[in-house]
Structure 1
Amino acid sequence: MSAISASEKVDGFTRKSVRKAVRQRVCQSSSQFAANSSRPATPEISALPQLKDASSTEQHELFMQKLHQCCVMFDFYDTVTDLKSKETKRATLSELVDYVSTNRGVLVEPVYPEITTMVSTNIFRTLPPSENPDFDPEEDEPTLEASWPHMQLVYEFFLRFLENPDFQPNTAKRYIDQKFVLQLLQLFDSEDPREREFLKTVLHRIYGKFLGLRACVRKQINNIFLRYIYETEHFNGVAELLEILGSIINGFALPLKAEHKQFLMKILIPLHTAKGLALFHAQLAYCVVQFIEKDPTLTEVVVRGLLKFWPKTCSQKEVMFLGEIEEILDVIEPTQFKKIQEPLFKQISKCVASPHFQVAERALYFWNNEYILSLIEENNAKILPIMFGNLYRISKEHWNPEKKKEQEREELWRKLDELRLQERIAIQNNRHDIQFTFNNNNNNLQDKNENTAAAVTDRIESDSWAK
């Protein structure tokens, strides 16, 4: 281990930055830890004839040879050896991508196992633990895959293979099976965001084409999330997996199966407790809203679940929760709103009174949403008593004197005053209507009594004259 200078001992930040710089220089590949001088020498590969130059009878055999050639792996940690062979493999992979993309009739049954073997050899590997145990995806640079010049082409080739019009899922399912899917999902923990983006597209294609693997994919994703929530608290590909699930949820048939509802309540809602929520909250909120749009009766359990896990000490998370609540309220049905309005606005009232100005500001933004405002107007008799105390207090005592906040509060008070005025006018109108109806009834009754009395008097007088 290198000696630490006196300045580094005094300045801990300098020492940390030096270690980080050394780590970034050394860590060039996510596939291996260090150079292994005792590894066997990689066989040199030579360029084969171009597929476009071969006759139609020779193309199939040449295609198979090139697939075999691309199974040879190179050490990209060593940047000076095997340069010619590395370039030959890169050119061959690029040629295979073009060949599968532009030619029809090349996906005959014998090539399926060769293609899956080549893809598996190149992309499936054991991912090492992060070189930085304190890795923060928002602050630190990820460790990139040094062999990406080859791996990118392998992923592109596999995608062209899956998207080829001649692709036969019934033939491919013997090779792209549950074991293949499990290994694919494990790669989502790669630190390289470029690889995770390709994996997302590949898994989406597999889910769409292999109906028999859909339940397996959902189950394995569930397992990854459960381990992430309750055990490891670390997985790099949560956002990408949630993005895939957003598309899957959108395609769920109605009525929703109990399995899908359980996934919502047992996995998606507890995911809100993760300390890395900021990295995938947008995708998570989208999945939750998709469920509510599919089945509005889930609104109450979702909102109560969010209130149960509402952050107490992290203002950043609290702002995210408020944003998600607004997304839910944008699609909520009025009947469902009545079920959750009281507990929800008790929490919103606390947020409005928060000493953290961003939390208070985000809660006040609810009154800028026309649909939410209409829901509040319809239920102001319940909501106004909950909100009034804290709204009044922050209008007088909040520490942040920014003019924008004052204007927002004034606008909010104006809208609340309008609501109270409308309510008073409605009550007064009702009273006037009742009084008017009562007076009319009394007048009618009085006229009726007077007419009856006059008629009796006239009859008596007539009888008297007759006598």
Structure 2
Amino acid sequence: ICTNILRTLPPSDNPDFDPEEDEPTLEASWPHIQLVYEFLLRFLENPDFQPSIAKRYIDQKFVLQLLELFDSEDPRERDFLKTVLHRIYGKFLGLRAFIRKQINNIFLRFIYETDHFNGVAELLEILGSIINGFALPLKAEHKQFLMKVLIPMHTGKGLALFHAQLAYCVVQFLEKDPTLTEPVIRGLLKFWPKICSQKEVMYLGEIEEILDVIEPTQFKKIQEPLFKQISRCVANPHFQVAERALYFWNNEYILSLIEENIDKILPIMFGSLYRISKEHWNPTIVALVYNVLKTLMEMNSTLFDELTASYKSDRQREKKKELEREELWKKLDELKLSDVAALVQNNSHGLQNAAQNNNNNNNHHDNQEKSTAICADHEDPVVAMDTTEGVEIVTSAK
């Protein structure tokens, strides 16, 4: 078994392999390896199998090498590995903690380092059955695994490939210990996707699964932050996100929880629902919103009427402020235009005066040049003064 199965996986033929888009590379020697896996499974499932003897060979090293094979691109091999590991976990009590720890390490590397591991879905499927068998009360290490590993895994690349198994594990924890509901939902809200609509739809589906098993006391603790997020999803322009959020009102148990807490939830949801009923581009969403508004109105018509009046009053105030803002901008634009016109007029007057002064200076300069030319043609008279007798004698040079 070790010679044929436990091996180093070859590097991928496609370095940019995307499990969501590309076809996996199948193991060329699978017909041979499959026989060995089938032999191992029959060996583990044999009624005469004795774990006390087999533990000399099926030890931590053997399990660790099996876990490394979960990164195989061939889904057929991962499926056999899943069954083999599950049998080992069930029969070897001494290896259980080690197996959980190593799966924990694989997930942490996937989240924070490699961002890639082919066998995440299969390992989560094994964990789902393991969590189902946890004894109560849950140990601290199990709660830590939920909050430090499973919740951050929602940010992992290729979430669509393993989200169903991940959500199942989370719900299993909450069924075991309902007090974990609040930190789990707050953790999901913390990692809520901002730009990926596909992920938002998956998150909403998981939230609905959680609400299906939530206790009313736990619901009260998370209703406000949760429905604020649902309100944003309902207002999302992507119709699939809005549609998935509105489908919550088709769930009878969720409707009963909403009705019990309508005084808290309706004020949170009303503004988005009312606005979308008038503005959303998709007619299907508008129809769903009308149905939701009708359901909420039937739950508490008095509160619904108060919120309607308040919303309309707020909208009128907003419109009034908007008109005042537009008028202010219009006045500012007019003032700006008048200032520009005045500046242009002043500049034109200045240019005219400058041009006139320039013309005067040019005329004066021309006159001076003419006078100089006349003086050049005639000698200047000599003016002499007899200082002794005080008589001026003017003689001509001629």
Aligned residue for 1:346?
228
Superposition map of 1:181-220 within 5 A: 181-220=63-102
Within the candidate set 140, 156, 178, 2:60 is matched to 178
How far 1:202 sits from its partner (Å)?
Answer: 0.1
Which amino acid counterpart does residue 152 of structure 1 have in structure 2?
Q
Superposition map of 1:216-295 within 5 A: 216-295=98-177
> Which structure would you say has the larger Rg?
2
How far 1:422 sits from its partner (Å)?
Answer: 7.1
Distance 1:282 1:299 in 2: 18
Aligned residue for 2:42?
160
Q: CA 1:326–1:424 in 2, change beyond 3 Å: closer, same or farther?
A: closer
Which amino acid counterpart does residue 408 of structure 1 have in structure 2?
L
Within the candidate set 272, 278, 289, 1:409 is matched to 289
How far 1:424 sits from its partner (Å)?
Answer: 8.4
How far 1:131 sits from its partner (Å)?
Answer: 1.6
Render the CA deviation track for 1:281-340: whole Å, top value 9, x for unaligned: 000000000000000000000000000000001110000000000000000000000000
Render the CA deviation track for 1:11-62: whole Å, top value 9, x for unaligned: xxxxxxxxxxxxxxxxxxxxxxxxxxxxxxxxxxxxxxxxxxxxxxxxxxxx
Distance 1:133 1:362 in 2: 35
Aligned residue for 1:380?
262
Extract unaligned runs of 5+ from structure 1: 1-118, 426-467
How far 1:388 sits from its partner (Å)?
Answer: 0.5
Render the CA deviation track for 1:94-127: whole Å, top value 9, x for unaligned: xxxxxxxxxxxxxxxxxxxxxxxxx110011111
SS at match of 1:120: coil
How far 1:257 sits from its partner (Å)?
Answer: 0.2
Distance 1:129 1:396 in 2: 55
Distance 2:158 2:134 in 1: 28
Which amino acid counterpart does residue 162 of structure 1 have in structure 2?
L
Within the candidate set 311, 318, 329, 2:193 is matched to 311
Distance 2:301 2:114 in 1: 55
Render the CA deviation track for 1:323-360: whole Å, top value 9, x for unaligned: 00000000000000000000000000000000111000
Aligned residue for 1:331?
213
Extract unaligned runs of 5+ from structure 2: 306-398
Which amino acid counterpart does residue 293 of structure 2 have in structure 1?
W
1:301 aligns with 2:171: no
- Answer yes or no: is the 8 Å Cα contact 2:116–2:157 preserved in 1: no
Aligned residue for 1:355?
237
Which amino acid counterpart does residue 164 of structure 1 have in structure 2?
N
Render the CA deviation track for 1:256-294: whole Å, top value 9, x for unaligned: 000000000000000000121110000000000000000
Distance 2:200 2:227 in 1: 14
SS at match of 2:4: helix
Which amino acid counterpart does residue 263 of structure 1 have in structure 2?
F
How far 1:232 sits from its partner (Å)?
Answer: 0.3
Aligned residue for 1:76?
none
Matched residue count: 305
Superposition map of 1:32-43 within 5 A: none
Which amino acid counterpart does residue 277 of structure 2 have in structure 1?
S
Which amino acid counterpart does residue 88 of structure 2 have in structure 1?
I
Distance 1:157 1:360 in 2: 51
Distance 1:128 1:266 in 2: 31
Distance 2:8 2:300 in 1: 65
Q: TM (normalized to structure 2)?
A: 0.75
Instruction: Output the aligned Cα RMSD.
Output: 1.2
- Answer yes or no: is the 8 Å Cα contact 2:20–2:158 preserved in 1: no
Distance 1:306 1:313 in 2: 15
Distance 2:171 2:267 in 1: 29
Distance 1:424 1:194 in 2: 56
SS at match of 1:327: helix
Distance 1:165 1:375 in 2: 49
Q: Which fold has the larger relative contact order, with Cα–Cα distance below 8 Å and residues 6 or more apart in sequence?
A: 1
Distance 2:227 2:10 in 1: 47
Q: Percent of counterpart pairs with the same letter?
A: 85
